Structure 1
């Protein structure tokens, strides 16, 4: 872990496991490092970079939002693969948020990813560790050699990602209303079982 922390502190990009897939990330407060992630992925400004944190107590590093639905969802599904849109703090890099100022954040359910954020004491970018046009991966042997040459450090030891669907991405519409922006590891049924009314966003 120390080599990843050192790399991120130096503004470099790293590869690390999450509960679902391998992630490409960096210190989310470092604008130049976030730019490097965007360049490696070939990602446009229309697709903001998602974030992970290492606990609910770190939400204040990402947002001032504290709606009751957010806290209820965090209590029910965090740590785990549920990414929630929140209004980003104004000081965060612009490529973390959409045109309305929202970014997605989750407390990762993977012990390494969570501890990485806690030890850095900052949110971490968590986009899938693959080059543009390639599939996300959950096994270390499937990581692109070209991608690995572009990063400052990587952690590929167990526990490995579980694979399957990526995190579910949701927007809070009200006290009991949600919009699913990306169907993922947390099913609509599980959200509804917690008392929420759920709608599915139209494809972009």
Structure 2
């Protein structure tokens, strides 16, 4: 835990319209007072994020749900009781407390209670909500350490609170409960199987929806290098093909892969939870070595492997050629 002076300074900045970076268990967030529209717009400006792309509002506890959501279905309460604090975001119909600046003009708001003691203590002291997307430039690789934030944002952010490496490593799972039956709009740090276990029913994953949510664009979480997806058994052949074209190739995958000794490898464990924890750090390490392309091995689409596959697919998607900031 940080010392009280650092926490006091963070809250002072937030109350004065400042923007800070703070740790959560998923990734580091770029946080502003969710009820300060000018501060929220500054978050968009720092990230280079489209104003229609909504933010997640972080709360100190589930007891604050009714202040932000005018309808809280029973299934939302069950999920909150089971998984908050933690890597779960609920999309619900908003109250007037959630402004258009936060929701992207929609009638819904995304809410979560983060599972990190620093974030929770800042929220408790602030006494309100924090609009907090990932603390990086829009569309790029999310930060999982304070140093990642400093490298990406520099002096654009007023304060960076260092709470150590993120323990989950990928963003929260987003569950939409605003239109009746639940649906997962973004796989994340909470497995679909766990959501289904608590609700006692199948919950579809719909990565295309009329409800806009964070991290839902086709190209996202992207390193500078190009990303080529491969099943582990196909990785070596893809590497040979790309090297034959004269490309500087790196490989993102499990340590047991048999590759030419001169090919740089970035170990991503087979265990899905471990893979999620290190994914963004490995993408950043690969970028630091200046590779033209990364061959990324896909984990099985179960548990947190679904979230890892989602992030890699978006990293590999065709990119908007226009600058994001």
Using the size of structure 2 for normalisation, the TM-score is: 0.59
Matches within 5 A, 1:125-164: 125-145=131-151, 147-158=153-164, 160-164=165-169
Match of 1:36 among 16, 37, 42: 42
Q: Name structure 2 gaps, 5 residues minimum.
A: 1-6, 209-216, 218-325
**Structure 2 equivalent of residue 197 of structure 1:** 202
Query: Cα RMSD over matched residues?
Result: 1.7
Q: Name structure 1 gaps, 5 residues minimum.
A: none
Q: Distance in 2 between matches of 1:136 and 1:180?
A: 21
Q: State the 1:122 CA deviation.
A: 0.3
What are the Cα deviations for residues 140-165 of structure 1, in whole angstroms up to 9, with x where unaligned? 2222445130122220144x321422
Match of 1:187 among 186, 191, 215: 191
Q: Which has the higher strand share?
A: 1
Matches within 5 A, 1:24-63: 24-63=30-69
Q: Distance in 2 between matches of 1:133 and 1:71?
A: 32
Q: Distance in 1 between matches of 2:119 and 2:163?
A: 12
Q: Distance in 1 between matches of 2:110 and 2:147?
A: 28
Q: State the 1:45 CA deviation.
A: 2.4
| Cα pair 2:168 2:189 within 8 Å, conserved | no
Match of 2:72 among 27, 45, 66: 66
Using the size of structure 1 for normalisation, the TM-score is: 0.91
Say which SS state the counterpart of residue 69 (structure 1) adopts. helix
Moved over 3 A (4+): none
Q: State the 1:82 CA deviation.
A: 0.4
Q: How many residues align?
A: 201
What are the Cα deviations for residues 102-128 of structure 1, in whole angstroms up to 9, with x where unaligned? 111111111111121111010101200
Q: Distance in 1 between matches of 2:176 and 2:98?
A: 20
Q: Which has the higher helix share?
A: 2
Question: Does 1 or 2 have the higher relative contact order (CA < 8 Å, sep 6+)?
Answer: 1
Query: Which one has a bigger Cα radius of gyration?
Result: 2
